[in-house]
Chains A and B, each alone.
Chain A
Amino acid sequence: MPLITLQDVAFSRRGNHILRGIDLSLSSGEIVTVVGPNGSGKTTLMRVIIGALAPTRGTLTRRPGLSIGYVPQRLHIDATLPMSVARFMALPRRHPADAVRTALEQAGADGLAERQMATLSGGQFQRVLLAHALLGHPDLLILDEANQGLDHRATAAFYRQIERVRREIGCAVLMVSHELHAVMQASDRVICLNGHICCQGSPETVAGSPAYRDLLGLDECDAVGFYRHHSSPAEASA
């Protein structure tokens, strides 16, 4: 049984149709990346899947007992809220000390436990969020543009970390990104979203599909850098 199944899911707010006709299912262990331009409903889709938003149409089915680890797009900690990494890892429920240590190690955030969250660098902060999501051995890890505020090098390192984590604990990963080339290579499946699912398939298939190229304006602008090894001669000479 798939971890999550969406059938004909739509979401609208105040007459704005943000998502429509979404059919999607996630199997255990697969890495799926959602790509799409700004305003294409990527974050809304993630929020529907974690249960923060109820679909206005269609059905969402979760495998019973499914546990989700979630890394939000942005987590702002108000300066008035004192919060150490160790305390954050115990929210909303405490885990055994060795489980916390393991999660921090898996996320590459070991040695940060005593630090205040507010003093972490962008990359450290994201790794702590990842460690938090890994606690309790999730069946599904959801990352919503978790590379925000990271430079290219840090982003690449972060996604390598996620691949490593998937190998170690075998969870499925659903992530949103617009750092396409960084995540696409690590994905089993890419979903191209623009309110509805324009196309989906293996990274190579999607990268070559006209719907995807059209949506992201790849043929209009300088597209060097995306999948050079699969690119057409015209693109390579651009």
Chain B
Amino acid sequence: MILDDFLVRAALGGTGVALAAAPLGCFVVWRRMAYFGDATAHAAILGVALSLVLSTSLFAGVLTVSLLMALAVSVLSGRGYAMDTLLGVMAHSALAFGLVAVSFVSGVRIDLMGYLVGDILAVSRTDLAIIWGGALLVLALLAYRWSALLTATLNPDLAHAAGLDPKREQLVLTLCLAMVVAVAIKVVGVLLIAALLIIPAATARPFSRTPERMALVAAAIGILSANGGLAAAYRLDTPTGPTIVCLATLLFLAASLVGHHRGRAAASRAPSPR
């Protein structure tokens, strides 16, 4: 059967993660939550340790800890420390505590690199089911709350006046973020998850006039990066997760150049831009 091929499984896994990460990444970019994504992802290594100690599934451990981390940041924000300071403390301490905790787990030889930068070639059928289940759930949640999320992103008071609760929408994003981290850890690892969220969204910006289009273009770019990166890593014999991120970055650079060029062309057509 076709799923017997590890490369096919890897391609499907990468595609699933990219599909969910791209639209969520747009919100991360619009709301300036990049560091928030980082903190949630770094906390995942603590989840790895937890799932090893309790011998639960990796997915459950990572999802739990990422969610707790995201909620803790949401609650603590605006209580004396600037957001970036708070996230800086929490992101790196979570990573450090996670690494220390993993070292306490005796008797199990674990490949730490696999969790830090991912091991997409080892994606199993079960992993695939979890990745696609999680990705579809994230997409469904985002689609269901799309307009409310956009309104709350523009201005929380505008959302209030329309009878929405911006805090609830923030919670939806937090939940989606934890879920994407949990499904992406196998594919790109905790260090590079934020890249998969942010780079495709940033790449899509110059080609988008509406938020929906930006999400779609980001998804296409994410899928292209995942599959192209996989192919490149296979040929060049390089680590797969980092190769995917490298390709995404090259696409970002190309898009920025095109966007810059088009911006200048538009500016020279319209003599008095306001």
Contacts and interface: CB of A to CB of B under 8 A. Distances in A.
A91 B209 CA distance: 15
Given A91-B147, A116-B209, A52 B160 contact: yes
Interface stretch (A68-76, A98-106, A178-186): A68-76
Given A52-B156, A80-B29, A87-B210, A92 B205 contact: no
B158 interface: yes
Contacts of A82: 205, 208-211, 213-214
Contacts of B159: 92
A77 interface: yes
Contacts of A87: 210-211
B76 interface: no
Contacts of A88: 154
Contact of B147 (A70, A77, A80, A92): A92
Interface string B116-149: 0000000000000000000000000000000110
B72 interface: no
Most A CB contacts (10 A, CB to CB) among B31, B32, B208, B210 go to B210
B210 A80 contact: no
Interface in B146-176: 147-148, 150-151, 153-164
A72 B151 contact: no
Given A68-B161, A70-B161, A142-B161, A78 B30 contact: yes
Given A78-B30, A82-B208, A92-B148, A119 B157 contact: no
B83 to A, nearest CB: 15
Nearest to A142: B161
Given A82-B209, A84-B210, A92-B150, A75 B274 contact: no
Helix, strand, loop or mixed for chain B's interface? helix
Contacts of A75: 154-155, 158
A204 B197 CA distance: 58
Nearest to B208: A82
Helix, strand, loop or mixed for chain A's interface? loop
Nearest to B31: A78
Contact of B153 (A50, A51, A72, A81): A81
Interface string B28-41: 01111000000000
Interface string A55-76: 0000000000000111010010
Contacts of A50: 157, 160-161
Given A52-B156, A77-B154, A69 B210 contact: no
A229 interface: no
Contacts of B208: 82
A28 interface: no
A144 to B, nearest CB: 8
B253 to A, nearest CB: 17
Interface in A24-51: 47, 50-51
A94 to B, nearest CB: 8
A51 B201 CA distance: 33
A197 interface: no
Interface of A: 47, 50-52, 68-70, 72, 75, 77-78, 80-84, 87-88, 90-93, 116, 119-121, 142
Interface of B: 29-32, 147-148, 150-151, 153-164, 201-202, 205, 208-211, 213-214, 273-274
21 contacts: A47-B160, A50-B157, A50-B160, A51-B160, A51-B163, A52-B160, A70-B162, A72-B158, A75-B155, A75-B158, A78-B30, A80-B205, A81-B153, A82-B205, A82-B208, A87-B210, A87-B211, A90-B147, A116-B209, A120-B274, A142-B161
